[in-house]
Amino acid sequence: MHTSTPEMKRCPFCAEEIKADAKKCRHCGEFLSPELRQLQHQTQHRPPNPGVAAVLSVFLPGLGHIYLGQFGIGLALMFITPLGYLFFIVPGLLLHIFAIYSAYRDASVTGQLQQAQGTKSKSTL
């Protein structure tokens, strides 16, 4: 078994040898300081903003869904809504309103789920 040198230490997460002054493990990618881990957790788990999703869909139907990671429905709305406008104004308008509402609703639900999961994981620490 190889022991760590003074310039090296073992990562507390994966036990691989890393530099003693490392801020992040090059093997497992974990941040070594609690402050950096907390910052990473906060930025990674930020819930989507329903307002942003809705505004994106106002400008381009389906873009709000793509913002949420729902690529299938986003692309479908991008192609179907203009066809609705092309053939008949009312179906296009209805599809556009649906895209805005659906993006807003899905972002709200996703944010609530992420908040509930974050609360649950914090209570188990």
* Total-model pTM: 0.49
Residue 3 within any structural domain of the chain: no
- 33/56 same-domain check: no
Task: Write out pLDDT tens, residues 32-90.
Answer: 888 877 776 666 667 788 888 889 999 999 999 998 888 998 999 899 888 888 888 88
Task: Write out pLDDT tens, residues 74-117.
Answer: 999 899 888 888 888 888 899 899 999 999 998 888 877 777 76
Q: What is the pLDDT of residue 100?
A: 92
* Mean pLDDT for all residues in the chain: 81
Q: How many domains does the chain have?
A: 2
- 102/86 same-domain check: yes
Give how far Cα 28 sits from Cα of 14, 39, 125, Å: 6, 17, 21
- 93/110 same-domain check: yes
- CA-to-CA distance for 70 and 93, rounded, in angstroms? 21
- 97/116 same-domain check: yes
- 83/68 same-domain check: yes
Three-class secondary structure of residue 22 per DSSP: coil
Structure tokens at 35: 């402050």
> Which distant-in-sequence residues (6+ apart) come within 8 Å of 100 by Cβ?
54, 57, 58, 61, 64
Which of 82, 79, 62, 78 shows the shortest CA–CA distance to 70?
62
